[in-house]
Chains A and B, each alone.
Chain A
Amino acid sequence: MKKAILPAIYLTLSMTFVTGIIYPLFITAVSQLIFPGRADGSLVKVDGSVVGSKLIGQHFTGDRYFWSRPSSTDYNALPSGASNYGPTSDSLKTLVERRRADFIQLNSLPSNAIVPAEMLYASGSGLDPDISPEGAELQIERVARARRFGPRGREALAKLVRRSVRGPQFGLLGEPRVNVLLLNIALDTLHVTGRKTS
């Protein structure tokens, strides 16, 4: 029995070297070589400065931008996380009812409008970068009004939202969605050209 003790220690150390040092450093080197931008976090730049990651959602308030989903961490990534409220939670019920009322009121929707589920419920990561196409469409009127878009600007905005929709990957996997940060960045440039042409 005793003779197992030394190999146990040596093998643990050897494997630590192979799987804990060589392996992750090898993956880091290969990744940095062939996918440098993605390995570093898919950062997005506007006018040369980094404004976020296209994979990490951000909090948008006010009427001039499209809103992300509710987040139990308020898009603070340190650490990520969810509400973990169960289906019979009173707190969740209160939150969802308030979010629905707010979404309907602030977007001037009819009181019986069906608000897409992702705009009522917080995500698992608290950092969900996406909303559903419906979630984006229902916000078009509000954003257009806040930016004082005329009919042409409004049409351009609707087109932008449609263009921003990413369907299921390979037409099969996952759900259709709109990346809120990328949409809002595109929205800012739309605003500039909109002003110039009108």
Chain B
Amino acid sequence: MKFGTLDVLQVALFILSLAVLTPIIGSFMAKVFSGEKHFMKSFLGKTEELIYRVCRINPAEEMNWKEYTFALLAFNFAGFILLLLFQEVQQILPFNPQHLPAVSWDLAINTAVSFVTNTNWQSYAGETTMSNFVQMVGLTVQNFLSAATGIVVILPFIRGIIRKTTDDIGNFWVDVTRTTLYILLPLSVILAIILVGQGTVQTLTHYHTVKAITGQGQVIPVGPAASQIAIKQLGSNGGGFFNANGAHPFENPTPLTDFLEMLSILLIASGLVYTYGRLIGSMKQALVIWSVMLVLFVSMLSVSLYSEWTFHPAYASTPTMEGKETRFGITNSVLWEVATTSASNGSVNAMHDSMTPLSGMVALVNMMTGEVIFGGVGAGLYGMFHFILLTVFIAGLMVGRTPEYLGKKIEAYEVKMAVIGVVAPSAAILVFTAIGVITRGGISSLNNSGPHGFSEILYAFTSAAANNGSAFAGLNTNTVFYNLSQSAGMVIGRYSVIVPVLAISGSLARKKSIPPSPGTFPTDSPLFGFLLIGIIIIISALTFFPALALGPIVEHFLMLAGKTF
């Protein structure tokens, strides 16, 4: 096994495809958000109007930032209650061919929080826990709605920049409905049908019981998987239909499905940066943000590829294939790992727990940056807004002028909010990990000992607070301690970032727009890009280096020294 030409070509094709698709999907989304004419409207325009009528929504009504925030929270809370309810009564609902019983209360809370916050952490094994009804009518729905919730949060921010002296930042109901109907739904239909054509299952029958040629029996679970996997990948959700997620041959049967599913992880998040440029009227601003994301992505990918191909345990003579599938091999497993952790997707096609220490650290660092390397749909960009404002502020301090961004003055209020958005999730990661490693409830779930055990706990809370959902899956998190502490982490990680962004949006919309002066620090230059990368790295490194040193870094050196635990 050697890193060869095909490996390089696949990575190059992946990045190239992403770059080509970004403006296409990005300009379409800009049309949807600005209410312009687009071709999907002729298919679903009537449905949109019908939904407004049924739900008694006045699409022309504008909201201020508090109303927008409240609508978002109420919408997510309603989704949480419904999903919780479905899991608790699945035994009496239809589409339960395996007669699965009600889900335990703590697991049901964890799963409901997880899917509503776009984390999609799996403390459960889909094929032995959730009925087809819960998978379709419960989980698939939140795959759509949590993704739409994330995407729409960038819209008030954009309106805050382009509007002047107003309280109006848009209508949450309209934003969410259009995003779901015109962007998420059509893309999911296309992807789902391609997936089935490659072998992903999509059926409502009961599981197959077969007698193998050796005479042994085997039960083969099936279900409506493709429809859920399509949106799971596109909406940076990541919760699998089956326990093994994207490693399962029924979720990800061929190298082509693997490629398309990986591309889907980053597609919308990357496209949204283009959309942002379109809507604020400056593609140069967007290009700087996109380049920052790409540079960080390629750097992280390089470290992870290097680690997986170069280092292996002392007793092995080849790179390790533990937790990896033959059809994907090492490079595609690493590419997926880096994409899914940059993008707060959290689906996996190989087990991160079994990867080399530095590779696992790349996954951790991607999440610890607050998922801003492309990031979750919407979430990546609105997380990046916090870093941009901090960078503008720090650059302003250095030259001694009032910082401004795109014609809006950045003052104490905005900076306070941006700091909350960056610090709160980080604090949740560290505090919960500290609790996890000093309590019985925390350490009794470990699958590995030594520094890797610490990494398992750190990874779990990082993944929760970053709303990622991937795992060092050896850790048994289906316990009351983890189900509840993870739920708290996911809520903090989601809403302590969203609410400050909306508050900033409201504040920006109220401000006058001032024309750029010679003293304005330009935010569309490579220099700003470098500063932004610097701020992201410095903040993440200062916060998390000690924790990383205790986990993956020390494990790397112990592995090279031939130690096992």
Q: A24-B140, A79-B242 are known contacts. Are A88 and B315 too (CB-CB below 8 A)?
A: no
Identify which of B51-59, B298-306, B511-519, B522-530 touches chain A: B51-59
Do A93 and B57 touch across chains, with their CB atoms under 8 A apart?
A: no
A118 vs B524: C-alpha distance in the bound complex, in angstroms?
48
Do B51 and A11 touch across chains, with their CB atoms under 8 A apart?
A: yes
Encoded as 1 (CB less than 8 Å from any B CB) or 0, chain A from 85 to 104 comes to 11111101100110000000
- How many B residues are at the interface, by size bracket? 35 or more
Q: What is the CB-to-nearest-CB distance from B225 to chain A, in angstroms, rounded to a whole number?
A: 10
- B323 interface contact, C-beta 8 A: yes
Interface centre among A10, A50, A65, A128 (most CB of B within 10 A): A128
A121 vs B330: C-alpha distance in the bound complex, in angstroms?
13
- B101 interface contact, C-beta 8 A: no
- B275 interface contact, C-beta 8 A: no
- B318 interface contact, C-beta 8 A: yes
Do B353 and A86 touch across chains, with their CB atoms under 8 A apart?
A: yes
In this complex, what residue of A is CB-closest to B63? A4
Q: What is the CB-to-nearest-CB distance from B171 to chain A, in angstroms, rounded to a whole number?
A: 10
Contacts of A52 in B (CB 8 A): 210, 212-213, 218, 220
Contacts of B1 in A (CB 8 A): 117
Do A177 and B327 touch across chains, with their CB atoms under 8 A apart?
A: yes
A121 vs B71: C-alpha distance in the bound complex, in angstroms?
49
Contacts of B6 in A (CB 8 A): 168, 172
Do B244 and A127 touch across chains, with their CB atoms under 8 A apart?
A: yes
- A122 interface contact, C-beta 8 A: yes
Do A53 and B208 touch across chains, with their CB atoms under 8 A apart?
A: yes
Contacts of A177 in B (CB 8 A): 326-327
Instruction: Tell me the chain A residues, 180-198 only, with Cβ under 8 Å from chain B.
Output: 184-185, 188
Contacts of B66 in A (CB 8 A): 1
Contacts of A125 in B (CB 8 A): 242, 244, 247-249, 325
- B351 interface contact, C-beta 8 A: yes
- B60 interface contact, C-beta 8 A: no
Q: Which of A18, A65, A88 is B559 in contact with, Cβ under 8 Å? A: A88
Q: Which of A8, A120, A126 is B71 in contact with, Cβ under 8 Å? A: A8
In this complex, what residue of A is CB-closest to B349? A124
- B16 interface contact, C-beta 8 A: no
Do B448 and A86 touch across chains, with their CB atoms under 8 A apart?
A: yes
Do B326 and A28 touch across chains, with their CB atoms under 8 A apart?
A: no
A163 vs B355: C-alpha distance in the bound complex, in angstroms?
32
In this complex, what residue of A is CB-closest to B50? A14
Q: A19-B144, A86-B448 are known contacts. Are A124 and B323 too (CB-CB below 8 A)?
A: yes
A177 vs B451: C-alpha distance in the bound complex, in angstroms?
35
Contacts of B136 in A (CB 8 A): 20-21, 24
Do A92 and B144 touch across chains, with their CB atoms under 8 A apart?
A: no
Q: What is the CB-to-nearest-CB distance from B316 to chain A, in angstroms, rounded to a whole number?
A: 7
In this complex, what residue of A is CB-closest to B80? A12
A5 vs B221: C-alpha distance in the bound complex, in angstroms?
39
In this complex, what residue of B is CB-closest to A89? B448
Q: What is the CB-to-nearest-CB distance from A180 to chain B, in angstroms, rounded to a whole number?
A: 10
Instruction: Tell me the chain B residues, 467-503 only, with Cβ under 8 Å from chain A.
Output: 472-474
Do B54 and A10 touch across chains, with their CB atoms under 8 A apart?
A: yes
Q: A19-B185, A129-B249 are known contacts. Are A7 and B56 too (CB-CB below 8 A)?
A: yes
In this complex, what residue of A is CB-closest to B197? A35
Contacts of B324 in A (CB 8 A): 121, 123-124
Instruction: Tell me the chain B residues, 443-473 only, with Cβ under 8 Å from chain A.
Output: 447-448, 450-452, 455-456, 472-473
- B365 interface contact, C-beta 8 A: no
Do B250 and A56 touch across chains, with their CB atoms under 8 A apart?
A: yes
In this complex, what residue of B is CB-closest to A50? B210
Q: Which of B207, B224, B326 is A130 in contact with, Cβ under 8 Å? A: B326
9 cross-chain CB contacts under 8 A: A19-B184, A79-B127, A82-B354, A84-B351, A86-B357, A88-B451, A92-B564, A127-B248, A173-B332
The residues of A with any CB-CB pair to B shorter than 8 Å are 1, 4-16, 18-21, 23-24, 26-28, 30-32, 34-35, 38-43, 46, 49-53, 55-61, 65, 69, 75-90, 92-93, 96-97, 114, 116-118, 120-132, 168-170, 172-175, 177, 184-185, 188
* Cβ-closest 6 pairs across A and B: A174-B255, A84-B474, A124-B247, A79-B125, A173-B255, A10-B55
Given contacts A82-B323, A177-B327, 20 further A-B contacts (CB under 8 A): A9-B78, A14-B51, A15-B144, A24-B227, A27-B192, A34-B197, A58-B218, A69-B326, A75-B218, A79-B128, A79-B221, A80-B125, A80-B127, A86-B354, A87-B356, A88-B451, A92-B322, A121-B320, A174-B327, A175-B332
